[in-house]
Every structure is written in structure tokens, then in C-alpha cells.
Structure 1
Amino acid sequence: MTRALVVDDSHFMRTVISDILTDGGVDVVDTADNGREAVSKTAEVEPDVVTMDVEMPEMNGIEAVEAIMAETPTPILMLSALTTEGADATLEAMDNGAVDAFAKPGGTISTELSGHSERLVNAVERAAVADPTAARDVEQTTPTETGSEEYVANPTLLVGASTGGPNVVESILEALPIEAGFRVLVVQHMPDQFTSRFANRLDRASDYDVREAEDGARISAGEGLVARGDYHMRVSGYSNGRLRVRLDQSDRRHSVRPAIDVTMESAAERVTDPVVGVALTGMGTDGADGIRAVKDKGGHTLAQNEETSAVFGIPQRAIETGCVDEVLAADGLTEAITDSVRRSS
């Protein structure tokens, strides 16, 4: 049975969260009402997972995550209010080592959380199996550029990730050379309130122009789209190096929306120029069919290795298809992506 420590400065929320988790088969071993207490209790009770509020007195959730990761690394699931500030703070906490996030419906003190009980329990269970030390502070090996090399025309990069993925995705785009001229599509399993903020972070970190996808959006060389939370992102058209996507809320696939497979399969079907597909850390089977589709159409495929994956489910399922060309540590992915579209002049 998964053992959880529930951290929230609201007694009401601690009770609601604890009741939901207990009813879902999670053993709530203790609670804490501020970040400082969370740090000490994590060391004391050694839970499998910590659910962490963001805004708390004495020590906030961001600071508590940093302290826990320094002292007793433990999987942490951030529970954030549905606000811009909450989303930004949650992403910062994930930079500090939190493995995943769950959006509190209805605000900081939520009376609507019980309607999302199954999702919360599943999020806690996913976080509990993550390796909190995997791929923290990833620094990509910078691709070596020489004057005798150039890139193939009109390459497309497809990146799929779930638990533990945001930092790895950011590190890949941060080191991706703009000269390669990729059209980049990112599918990160993430609450829908967070994907626009995540896209903004990628845009700031990268030389690429990255934004959250909108229905009918088009991108060319040097541009990227992040799948909007709760919407599948399909490649609907491709012509003269310009790629178009459509968004829809058709049935979830592998219980998720957006699904990596939906984006990768549609890209494999529509894009006629070189395609690179990358399966990153996360739980589940999403991405395996997409990687197979990319490979079947002659694309290059990569998967993150087990040692640097917070959860090895998505890469492992992709590898098991027999369609992955290279399995690499997180810090070697950008160089491999770049090498796959580089040619000698």
C-alpha cells in the first residue's frame, strides 16, 4: 500500500485530501500544515509520496520541495490552485525536484476536489513510483557544429513525456540548435491549466518560438507547439515545410488527453519530410504506437534510458516495440536528435 504524507495549510483541505486518498486505498501516514513541518515529517515517517501545497506559512511548497530533495529525496506531487501564480509556482517546484502536479479545482480551498477523487488517487499512485533523483538539473551535451556540416530540409521533432518530463523537455529545447530549423511538437501529460505556462517556459528557455497550440495553428522552421491540456493535438496538414494542427476532445487514449500517440501517428501520416520521435520519462503505454508509426514511415526514433527516467514506463513500452533506434541518457538526447538530421555537405 502506498504511504502518503499530506501537506496543506488548510485543515479542511488536509481532511478532504486524506479522506480521498484513504478511500482510494492509500495509507495517509501523517499530515503537515506548513513546509517546515513537511520537511521534518518526511524524514521522520519516510512516506512513499508527499502531496504538497504551494502557498503555506513559515516555508512555502517550493522551498519545502528544495529542502526535502536535499535532505531526504522523496517523490512529491504538487497540488496547486488553478491560477497563473499557482501554475508558475508549481513549475518552479518541479524544477526543484517535484515529479508531477495536480490542479485543485475550485481554488486554494476547494469544495470540488471530491469530484476528482479517482484522478487524485491515480496521480498520487503515479508519483509514488517515480525516482525523484532521476534527471534533475539536466544539462544536455551541446551539439558540435562545424562549417562542413548542414541539416536536412524541413525536419520535424515530436516529443512525448509524462511524469518527470518537464525538466527533460526544457533541457532538450534549450540546447536544440535553431540552425536545424525543426518544427517542434511537444505532448506533455499535464493539467490543462498548466500547459500555457509550460509553453511560455519553453519559449523563454529556447531559441525556438514556442507557444501553446490553438486549433488550426501553423508552424514553420524554428517554431514549436505544446499540446493544450485536455485536447488531442493532431497534425492535419503539411505543405512546403509548414505544419498545421487541429485540436479535439475525442475520447481519451490510454486514459489521457492529450495523447502522445495521437500526435505522433498523425505526424507520421501527414509529414513527408524527416521526422524524429522521442519517448521520454512517464508512466503508461502512451507513445509506443506513435514511435512505431514514426519508424514505419522512415523516421528516426529515440527513447530516454531507465537510469535517468523518473518513471520508465513510456520509454520502456516504446523500446519493447523494437522500433527505437537509440536509447540514451537524458543529457545525450539533444545531440542525438541533432545528429539524426545532420548531413555532410
Structure 2
Amino acid sequence: MAVGSSPRAVVADDSHFMRSVISDILEEGGIDVVGVAKNGHEAVEAVAETDPDVVTMDVEMPEMNGIEATDRIMSTRPTPILMLSAHTDENADVTFQALEKGAVDFFRKPGGEVSMEMSRLQDQLVEIVRSVAAVDPTDSSDVASARTAGSGVATDADAGVDTDRPADAATADTETYVDDPTVVIGSSTGGPTVVEQVLSDLPLAADLRVLVVQHMPSGFTGRFAERLDARSEYTVREAEDGARIGGGEALIAAGDYHMEVQGYRRGRLRVGLTQDPPVNNVRPAVDVTMETAADVVDDPLAGVILTGMGEDGARGIRAIHDAGGFTVAQDEATSAVFGMPKRAIETGCVDGVAPVNDVAAAILDAFEVT
């Protein structure tokens, strides 16, 4: 997409009403709808015919569903895709599968009085469609090969982080780490697969306590926690009010709730959930978790900002830095959207910038006993 130009979109949904509502919202937001589709087959054809900048893709459609269409598009004509998913457990599972196939992010379809609720969410939908349209869908291979191929060593000296360590160091069981370390990870657009990668790269031997704040609506964070639990060495669960974790455990902030660190004693954290007003227009907000962690945790602490739009996490990174903690941001080359990492870096409080494959290594370096 040319800089400054209006994004061109294809809208795929099996409901004629929803296609009309979504198309009207995007057009009113300055996004040119160049094609519509009522099933996955038509979506694939529309992308081939119109070469859009972005696709909004319904999950459940006849003949070919959203995940199949996403797979086909990404293999034939890679295009940034935003999944539109209803709030059901089945759709949550399929949505995460679509992200694995290359979709950039997802947006929860409204329920109830659909036209009224979608109108209320209009600004959010236009903003995320614009952000997704700016993503280069051909960069996924670059992310996967960010670590120097064949050398077993990776460096990012230009970015200010030294990751000169064996390629398998993030899974080694022989390193010695400081006691009681805590990591707070924040991400948004493009974040679910990146969070999964970082967490799976962290060895259980490091005995970290991990708090993850991913901008994600309610109804999806529980499934996200289950996926991370199955794909990492850590015990991962969705946060509940009053939940406690020790080393080797992780909590995922629940959708529509801020996650505050409210207590810390004998190596265990206690969190509380609130529905206080959104911060940075989001709930959960990364800033809330990072700032409360900086206030409460007096053992080694690290803050990590991954891909995402907006500025959430910048204040939190500053708070962790001011409390003596280590801070790292994902680099621009491997970020789907370089909004949140950029804002964090601009604070001057980021200790290192790293490609996604080296974020875990940077965290482990900070916590190693020298």
C-alpha cells in the first residue's frame, strides 16, 4: 500500500447484512471496499481479481470457511487478513488456527443488536483495518529466519542488544539464573503468535513468573491461555481475580479486565482484576500491569513490548526502568505493527531492541547470574 493512500479492502462474510454494515463502516472511514464475498471461494477470487491491501474475513462461511480461505490466499497471493470472529469457543479455536495460517489479527464480531453495536465499534474497526493493511504479509519468512542462518549465533548490535549466545540457549537447562525473576509481556496487533513464540523459547529452568497482557476481547483469552499452556514448558492460565503464581507459571490478562499486581510475598505474585475505565483506549492495558508490577515487585523484573498498534506499554516500560528493571522491545523488522515498540523505544527507557527470535534470549541474558 502506498504511503498516504487509502487502503483497498475486500469484505468476506456469508451474511449480506453484515457485508453491507462492514462495507459502509469502512467506506465511511476512508477505506475503499473494492470487493465483497459471501464464502471463502469468492474471497480467494476477489483477492486475485482486485489485489486489495487488506481482507476482512468471516470465520464461518459455506463452501470454504475463513481458515481455508486464509490458507489459500496466503499461499497464492499473500495479503494482510483481519479475521472477524463471533464470540463462541468454536470460533475462537478456528480464529487462532487462522492466525497460524498467516492472518494478522482478529476483531470480535458484535452480537445482539448488531447494527447498533457495530456502529459503536466503528472507530476501532477502521483503526485496526488500517493497521492490518499496512502489514507486509511477505515478512513472515523473515521473522522465522531472523536468527543468523547456519551460524548458531545471532547479534543485533545495531539495535543495542547483544544476543551473542548459542542458538539453543533459550532452551538450555544448564544456565544459572537469579532468584525470583518476573517478566511482564505486552502486545497487540500481530501479537498472539509472537507471544507464543517468546513464551515457548523461555526454559522452565529459568523459573520465571510471567504476566502477559495481549489486547484481546473477552471470550478469547481463555483459549489463548490454553494454547500457550500446550505450547510452552510453563503452566499457563487465564487470570482470575486473586490469582497467585510462582516460578514456572504464567497468567494471561482476561479480556475486558485490567490485571493489576496487588501483592508479592515469598516469591509469589497475586493479581487482581478490575473493570476500571480503559487506559490508552484499551482494557486490559499493558501500562496497568507494568506500572503495578514496578510498584510491588522488589525482585528482578523485566518488561517486554512486542508488536502492536498504539502507545500502550510506554508508561509501563518507563516505570519498570525507573524501578531498576530490564526492558526490551521487539524490533521494527519483525513487528507486524511497530506502534507499541516504537513508542516504548522513544521513552529512552528501553535497554535493548531485538528481533522476535532473540527476545527470549535477551530476557535470559538479563536474568543470568554472572
What is the rounded CA distance, in whole Å, between the counterparts of 1:133 and 1:303 in structure 2? 22
In 1, distance between residues paired with 2:140 and 2:364? 20
Residue 121 (structure 1) aligned with residue 126 (structure 2): yes
Deviations 1:77-125 (A, max 9, x none): 1001110000111111011111111111227x95543443233222222
- Partner residue of 1:55 out of 41, 57, 60: 60
Please give the alpha-carbon distance, in whole angstroms, between the structure 1 residues aligned to 2:343 and 2:248. Answer: 30
**How far did residue 16 of structure 1 move?**
1.8
- Rounded Cα–Cα distance in structure 1 between residues aligned with 2:240 and 2:168: 31
Q: Is the 8 A contact 2:173 2:203 kept in 1?
A: no
- Per-residue deviation, 1:42: 1.1
Corresponding residue of 2:42: 37
Aligned ranges 1:208-223 → 2 under 5 Å? 208-223=234-249
Runs of 5+ in structure 2 lacking a partner?
1-5, 148-166
| Distance verdict in 2 for CA 1:12–1:284, change over 3 Å | same
Equivalence for 1:155:
181
Of residues 111-120 and 45-54 in structure 1, the stretch that sits farther from structure 2 once superposed is 111-120
AA paired with 1:281? T
Report the alpha carbon displacement of residue 3 of structure 1 after superposing the two structures with TM.
Answer: 1.6
Tell me the TM-score normalised to structure 1 length: 0.94
Amino acid at match of 2:296: R
Residue 331 (structure 2) aligns with:
305
Residues 173, 205 of structure 2: 8 Å contact kept: no
In structure 2, the residue matched to 1:240 is: 266
Amino acid at match of 2:133: A
- With 64-73 and 227-236 compared, the bigger mean Cα shift is at 64-73
Find the counterpart in structure 1 of residue 151 from structure 2. none
Whether the 8 Å contact between 1:185 and 1:226 is mirrored in structure 2 is: yes
Q: Is the 2:209–2:249 Cα contact (8 Å) retained in structure 1?
A: yes
- 2 CA distance for matches of 1:128 and 1:166? 18
Question: What is the correspondence of 1:97-112 to structure 2 with a 5 Å cutoff?
Answer: 97-106=102-111, 110=114, 112=117
> Which whole-Å CA distance do the structure 2 matches of 1:211 and 1:219 have between them?
10
Rounded Cα–Cα distance in structure 2 between residues aligned with 1:88 and 1:254: 28
- Paired residue total: 342
1:3 aligns with 2:8: yes
Q: Which runs of 5+ in 1 are unaligned?
A: none
Q: Does the CA contact (< 8 Å) of 1:50 and 1:77 recur in 2?
A: yes
Residues 334 and 355 of structure 2 are in contact (CA less than 8 Å); yes or no, is this contact kept in structure 1? Answer: yes
Residues 171-191 of structure 1 deviation map (CA, whole Å, 9 limit, x = unaligned)? 111121011111100000112
Q: Which moved more, 1:150-159 or 1:13-22?
A: 13-22
Residue 119 of structure 1 aligns with an amino acid whose one-letter code is Q
Deviating above 6 A after TM superposition, structure 1's stretches of 4 or more consecutive aligned residues are none
Over residues 146-180 of structure 1, what are the superposed CA-to-partner deviations in whole Å (9 max), with x where a residue is unaligned?
A: 74x41100000110001111111001111210111
Q: Identity over the aligned pairs, expressed in percent?
A: 59
Among 79, 83, 93, the alignment partner of 1:78 is 83
Give the Cα separation in 2 of the matches to 1:288 and 1:6.
33
Q: Does 1:65 align with 2:70?
A: yes
Give the whole-Å Cα distance in 2 for the aligned partners of 1:330 and 1:72: 25
Comparing 39-48 and 151-160, the one that deviates more: 39-48
- Would you say the 8 A contact 1:133–1:310 is kept in 2? no
Q: How many angstroms apart in 2 are the aligned matches of 1:159 and 1:130? A: 22
Distance 1:210 1:138, change over 3 A: farther
- Residue of 285, 289, 297 corresponding to 2:311: 285
Say if 1:232 and 1:146 are closer, same or farther in 2 by CA, change over 3 A: closer
Report what 2:322 is aligned to.
Answer: 296
Distance in 2, Cα, partners of 1:211 & 1:314: 24
Aligned match of 1:330 in 330, 349, 356? 356
Alpha-carbon contact 2:291-2:316 (below 8 Å) kept: yes
- Cα deviation for residue 43 of structure 1 reads 2.4
CA distance in 1, matches of 2:55, 2:70: 10
Instruction: In structure 2, give the amino acid aligned to 1:6.
Output: V
8 A Cα contact 1:138 1:167, kept in partner: no
Three-state SS of the structure 2 residue aligned to 1:203 is: helix
Distance 1:146 1:187 in 2: 27
**Structure 2 partner of 1:197:** 223
Q: Is the 8 A contact 1:276 1:337 kept in 2?
A: yes
Is 1:340 the counterpart of 2:366 in the alignment? yes
Amino acid across the alignment from 1:203: D
- Check whether the contact 1:304–1:329 (CA below 8 A) recurs between aligned residues: yes
Conserved? CA contact 2:86–2:109, under 8 Å:
yes
Q: Deviations over 1:18-65 (max 9, x none)?
A: 122222332111101111221221122121210001111222111111
Q: Is the 8 A contact 1:135 1:309 kept in 2?
A: no
Is residue 210–residue 224 contact of structure 1 (8 Å, CA) maintained in 2?
A: yes
CA contact (8 A) 1:3 1:49 kept: yes
- Give the distance between the partners of 1:170 and 1:210, measured in 2 at CA: 11
CA RMSD after TM alignment:
1.8
Match of 2:152?
A: none
The reply on whether 1:321 has 2:337 as its aligned counterpart is no
